[in-house]
A and B are shown apart, each in its own frame.
Chain A
Amino acid sequence: MANIRELKAEEVYRRCDPAQFPFQTTEELDELQGIIGQPRAVAAIRFGIGIDSEGYNIFALGASGTGKHSIMRQFLEDRAAREPTPPDWCYVNNFAQPHRPRALRLPPGMGVQLRRDMERLVEEVRTVLSAAFESDDYRTRRQVIEEEFKERQEKAFESLRQRARERGLALIRTPVGLVFAPLRDGEVMQPDEFQKLPEEERKRIEQDVEVLQKELQDVVQQIPRWEREMREKIRELDHEVANFAVGHLIEEVREKYKQLPDVIAYLNDVQQDILEHVRDFLAPAEQPTSPSPAESTPRSPAGSPSLRRYQVNVLVDHSKSNGAPVIYEDNPTYQNLIGRVEHIAQMGALVTDFNLIKPGALHRANGGYLILDARKVLMQPYAWEGLKRVLRSHQIRIESLGEMLSLVSTVSLEPEPIPIDVKVALIGDRLLYYLLSELDPDFGELFKVAADFNEIIDRNADNEMLYAQLIGTLARKDGLRPFDRTAVARVIEYSSRLAEDAEKLSTRMQSICDLLHEANYWAGENGHEAVTAADVQQAIDAQVYRVDRVRERIQEEILRGTILIDTDGERIGQINGLSVIQLGNFSFGRPSRITARVRMGKGEVINIEREVELSGPIHSKGVLIMASFLGSRYVADRPLSLSASLVFEQSYSGVEGDSASSAELYALISAIAQVPIKQSLAVTGSVNQHGQIQAIGGVNEKIEGFFDACKARGLTGEQGVLIPTSNVKHLMLRSDVVEAIAAGQFHIYPVDTVDQGIEILTGIPAGKRDETGQYPEGTVNYLVEKRLAELAERRKEESESAREEEE
């Protein structure tokens, strides 16, 4: 038993010595420059930002709280500030095809200017046009044209009337037409008078009327043509007057934008359109054609809705930007990414125009960077596909989802696509990254840079100092009290525990940050100027206390004997296993009783959990490995002739993981050899086919779980836990456990092999095969082998006698 090793207190908790820090409080420390412990991710981000080739978008992957977001943002903003400000984008009316608004690209800040210039232009055009069209000059010229028309008409009628008069006839207007009638004394002849006229006279009158009527018809037929001619002349006049009035106004604007051929082309179209729609400007502004819907129409500053077509819809305005944009879209729906075309209900119909085109995050990020949460993008219908389409085609085409799916059919627009140059940074957890790589063939092509964020860093003196600086920086940034060096040391120890490794530190800044805030709170409660280790400890304890109701309940039931756990005495085929329960962010250990029974049988080890499907695959695997070890070690040349059953007592919800396989093996060995096991010990660790004990997770919680059960009943000084030696480096135990170990009240035994474990548990040597291949008598292995041999012998006899009976 000389080879039993027990861990000392300093081995189960790696202290951080406050004396190593050359400062009293973090106030004395400089701001932390750079990022702790993410060299791989930082290199990837630098590369991803720097490279300017297709598909080099970035996916930042890592556990939540590792600072992916802030690091990404920091790098992008740093880079973006040194890049040129991208152009403004506007949508303007397409006068030739109004349903396909034109996109205009303008130097940064010019978009808003153009909008203002156009507003002013429309306002001025209205003023000058109404002045021009109300001027005497125009009126006179127009009157001349109208007079000419009237004169022409009048002449035609007058000559008709003249000839009629010569023949004693008059041209008379009826409600709907014109009639020739014979006159007598200035009045229309009475029918009976007419009848009294001589036949010849009547004939003559009728003939005259006939002839004149023909001529009248000709004249009446001419009138529409003359009218058309008149209107044409008036239109020409309008055009001439308007062109003169408006030309110089537009010329001024044109002069301002002469470097921009697109804008010039647009202004030319505007001029043409204004000249063709002069009347729109002359209509009084306060006279909407349909009163009720006009109220819902957004009134432009220029007034009448028909003048909306001269407005400029500034989609992206960089007048206040400095450098390239870095946009984070919190709610990346399809429409928030790609942009949308809104509609207005007018007289029960949905109408729209280019003024209702709204930009998406991609528009705003054009020429810069867009940060998105991968999970959010994937959760929004069509957003992921839309994003990929934009990245692939290098242009944003606004398409309505409703139309794409044929859900709505209403008047809509096809805005001219805008070319885009954007780098997208997706942020998500590892699982998403690997799933996307696996399942989406486009993903690899579009997101070629993976920035993998580490959750842990090495714990060494340099990193501890950096950590101290980080704590100082965070405290300063968030307006917390300074942390004294004991507090810093305690935070570093906590970080190690968080990393579940005494040789590492966690980079989950979210948890550290929470702890700092909470410790700051307690320091305030305790009236401390600077946060001390006691405050940090209080914060940790309070954190645990807030969430450990379930743990407390379990411990209570163990103490009361509802959950059967022995912490002293000896039992055959019974052992204390350890499991970890995770509830939200809090995990804790819980001892579980594992029992084994054996009898003669056909060599199977029955895992009762598995029989009832409460066993996970890894647990089942552990049991099979263990059974294989048992058979090959003790009865290599004979069939294993026992039937063993194993069970986790009082477990009702399934068992997973192989960390109990060593405990199960010990219980089985105890049952076979009929050697009692000390109940003051608990066991964790998995076992392989050669009987070596392998590392497991959650070692700290497991030890603490058993410690709590023992402590509640009173420590006997015998109690302890067997852990795999390879887990020793992970130990960062709670302070009360460490104290008990230091006082010799509690023991941690690192174990490498099954033999070591069985010796500690039974107090009997395990035994090694001697030269003859036999285990020494009185050792556990000897007993096991003997029992198995007996069973095999008995089974052989039984099967022989059974055969004899058959014969």
Chain B
Amino acid sequence: MVTAEPPQKAVEVLKTTETKSVEAPEAAPTGETMISVRNMDFNYGTKRALHGINMEIPSRQVTAFIGPSGCGKSTLLRCFNRINDRIAGAHISGGQVVIKGKNIYDADVDTTQLRRQVGMVFQKYNPFPKSIYENVVYGLRINGVKKKSELDEACEYALKAAALWDECKDRLKANAFGLSGGQMQRLCIARAVAVKPDVLLMDEPCSALDPIATLKVEELIVDLKKDYTVVIVTHNMQQARRVAELTAFMYLGELIEFAETDQIFGNPQQKKTEDYVRGQFS
């Protein structure tokens, strides 16, 4: 599983992609490895949360992580943009996470640069108590973009990408808290998309939404893979089947099986996977 891929010209890649154009991010050919996890161990203090994870996540596809609560799927997702660094004592204790050819846990990696390219959408929709417009352009503003035209363009692009433009274009200045739950979550997706990341991480993006809003977000996720590599953590196996090309089943901090979604649900190779997808334990 471990494909040795020397992290060549990684720094240049990180630098050159810091572009502020409005087109969708530069295409990496579909299916090429975007994130490569190599023999990774992860600890919360002395407690090991992830054991020897190995996986290759292809670009411009949707990859789903499933598994029972506490299996480490969110932890793994949060390793990809190093948001776990915030937690005291949390650290990677072995192996590598290579994104676009660069181990993101190298000392010379700037986490702010990393997170601009690896965006994240959280479980609980959490727009800022600001206008819809200000929410979407937040990421651009912290990058120092001041030009009104540039912000406007990015706002329109992101809202369109998040299928929210038609609903919101007449009330961009309205407070985001006036939106419904589903709209708020799509706004959060727009906010993440506005900075044009290469990867979009989604941590149970639909768990706080009703079924109809969930469907809309799922449609959006399928749509987004045209331009983005999407990795989604979900509790809902049906959701994984609906949106993901690849599915990873995790259990007790280990990656049990990682394969095409149809195989995981139709013809799992591991006993544990089979038990889980058949609903024999949760």
Q: Note whether A and B form a binding pair.
A: no
Measured CB to CB, the residues of A under 8 A from B are: none
Measured CB to CB, the residues of B under 8 A from A are: none
